[in-house]
Structure 1
Amino acid sequence: MLGRKVINLKDVESTNSYAQKLAQADYPEGTVVFSEKQTKGRGRQGRSWLSLEGKGLYMSAILRPPFDAQEAQILTPLSAAAVCMALRNLGFKAMVKWPNDIYISGKKVSGILTETTLSANKIAYAVVGIGINLNHTKKDFPLELQQKSTSLRMEKGFPAKRRQVADKLIFNFNMLYDELIKSGHINSSIKICNEYSFLKGKIVTIKNQGCTITGLARKINSNGSLSIKKKDGEIKEVVSGELNKTISSI
């Protein structure tokens, strides 16, 4: 369970990279790395994650689920559900934006990066990185992100407490991860992701394996894929992809 071993750092290039080295050195499942600052914070698709000192929650956790390689993708919706519920427990109207973001008021407040290492087609270990914008002001974000990003402080008008957010996150994560280990499924996580889906009912365009798919976002499935209804009525299940465009359904 998360929090079995906690490592607090002043600064680091990337909590995910640091946690991966610990995992390679056989640190136990549940080890969590926190840092006040990241100099090379990473997101999906090779993007960077703005990690200003004292402004956010930057953490990575080591997991060792006893599952096959194809099950690795379910760790991201599980993590998204945990972040969403943690923020909702604290009074924020958080929403899950498939595949790995959390939104408040239509803007990004959190992102998740899951990196998995395999051995003989099994998960040797996974590192789940989570970044949450806590106390950023609008001026802290680059100009191109100011209309797309938010923080807990910007939403509530007063500073967020990192320890309080971390405790809620770990509590929710452990509850959902326990379900996965005991039952082999993430039904509760998927229910949360669908109940608080940012994309449901919206027209989306997703690039996936060289193809572009446009259609109505429906639900997140038990394997973490997104169901999209195309204009011709065909239902496509997208396991991963780059979300290029989202518009409200008409």
Structure 2
Amino acid sequence: MAADTSEQTQEELILGFLSEGGDAYLSGEVLSSKLGLSRTAVWKRVEALRLKGYVIEAVPARGYRLVEVPDRLSALELGPLLGTRDLGRVIHHHETIGSTNEAAFRRAQDGAEHGEVVVAEQQTAGKGRRGRAWASPAGLNLYFSAILRPELPPQRAPELTLVAAVALAEALREAGSDAAIKWPNDVQIGGRKVAGILTELSAEPERVHFVVVGVGVNLNSTLEHFPEELRESATSLSIALGKRVARAAFTAALWTRLEEWLDRYLEAGFEPVRARWKALSSTLGQDVLVRTDRSELRGRAEDIDPSGALLVRTEAGVLERVLAGDVERLRPRQDVRSS
């Protein structure tokens, strides 16, 4: 059966076939038959891929062989690597964008489906928590926002931030790091921030219309890429590993993890997520200073409750529930009461 005739789909299929072939050559005749195209049309699509940075070797009487893939995050690079059911099956790729979250929010308002993702090579107005900017240099890291349409009451939507944090920490650990989660939505390597999560939603009193989960991961930044004031508190996966990270492979692995955890959460509730979050936490068991919009709180971070709020035991022995705030780890103290 002939494939979809869109040029991008044809290019994705060619890349998929060449990737499956490994170091072997695939003849133009075979590609032509698989795609339902003339050999001239196949050649034109191969030339279009070469213009996008793909190194494709062509040998007369033998065919084509994929030699090198550009370090980009479009559907062409990610499609052949994805093992997800919904997440990332529709990718809106941008070379440069203000904010992937803002773009995803607009698309969701216009009817984008569950699992669609906005991904960018660079952000010029990346958004962090509490209105902060997220440094987003071009071609180095991962910046994406996923549109989710879960069947949830609005009060449970914040739990999705912790779902994403668990998936992200696991993906970073699978890549070889010692990633841990700092409450509520930062991921650290060696105590330095490597990734952040920003969740935004549209809802009415009884149901969620959609949730946008935005993720920024420092994959290949060097210290020089960070603003000077962040160089002592930020890091990247490549700094931690001492080698460059293949962005498309990491992205595909992360999206697989995220979909798996979303499925588990929607089937079994928040408790499995909570248990795994606690195991991955760098905050629990630590003396902390929590700054909220209205006050400061010092104490021992003891737990997160069934809704994801942080439970802090103060110096006076009172257990305080913190819904939002910035957490700073303090030097250990001996006088915080545990009951």
* Aligned counterpart for 1:95 among listed residues 168, 180, 204: 180
CA displacement, residues 184-234 of structure 1 (integer Å, 9 cap, x when unaligned) = x12232222211211122111213351322110112222111111111221
Structure 1 contact 216–249 (Cα < 8 Å) conserved: no
Give the match for residue 150 of structure 1.
Answer: 235
Give the match for residue 251 of structure 2.
Answer: 166
The answer to which structure has the higher strand fraction is 1
Q: Does 1:195 align with 2:275?
A: no
Counterpart-to-counterpart distance in 1, 2:89 and 2:113: 8
Which range is displaced more, 96-105 or 230-239? 230-239
Give the match for residue 248 of structure 1.
Answer: 331
1:249 maps to a residue whose letter is P
Q: Does 1:137 align with 2:222?
A: yes
Q: CA deviation at 1:248?
A: 3.2
Counterpart-to-counterpart distance in 2, 1:33 and 1:195: 30
CA displacement, residues 121-176 of structure 1 (integer Å, 9 cap, x when unaligned) = 42111100000001111111111100000001111111111111111111111111
Report runs of 4+ in structure 1 exceeding 4 Å deviation. Answer: none
Q: 3-state DSSP class of the match of 2:324? A: coil
Structure 2 contact 289–330 (Cα < 8 Å) conserved: no
CA displacement, residues 91-115 of structure 1 (integer Å, 9 cap, x when unaligned) = 1100000001000011000000000
Which range is displaced more, 115-124 or 156-165? 115-124
* Aligned counterpart for 1:229 among listed residues 313, 317, 327: 313
Give the match for residue 212 of structure 1.
Answer: 296
* Aligned counterpart for 1:107 among listed residues 192, 205, 216: 192
The answer to which structure has the higher helix fraction is 2
1 or 2 for the larger relative contact order (CA 8 Å, sep ≥6)?
Answer: 1
Uncovered stretches (5+) of structure 1, i.e. residues with no partner: none
Seq. identity, %? 35
Counterpart-to-counterpart distance in 2, 1:150 and 1:209: 27
Q: CA deviation at 1:9?
A: 1.4
Give the match for residue 261 of structure 2.
Answer: 176
- Which protein is bigger by CA-based radius of gyration? 2
1:50 maps to a residue whose letter is A
* Aligned counterpart for 1:72 among listed residues 126, 134, 157: 157
Counterparts of 1:9-48 in structure 2 under 5 Å? 9-48=94-133
2:302 maps to a residue whose letter is R
Counterpart-to-counterpart distance in 1, 2:279 and 2:231: 27
Which range is displaced more, 198-207 or 127-136? 198-207
Uncovered stretches (5+) of structure 2, i.e. residues with no partner: 1-85, 334-339
Counterpart-to-counterpart distance in 1, 2:124 and 2:292: 30
Structure 2 contact 121–138 (Cα < 8 Å) conserved: yes
Counterpart-to-counterpart distance in 2, 1:165 and 1:191: 24
1:149 maps to a residue whose letter is A
Counterpart-to-counterpart distance in 1, 2:311 and 2:254: 27
Q: What is the aligned length?
A: 248
* Aligned counterpart for 2:210 among listed residues 115, 125, 144: 125
Q: 3-state DSSP class of the match of 1:50? A: coil
Q: 3-state DSSP class of the match of 1:49? A: coil
Counterpart-to-counterpart distance in 1, 2:316 and 2:222: 44
Give the match for residue 134 of structure 2.
Answer: 49
The alignment's C-alpha RMSD in Å is 1.3
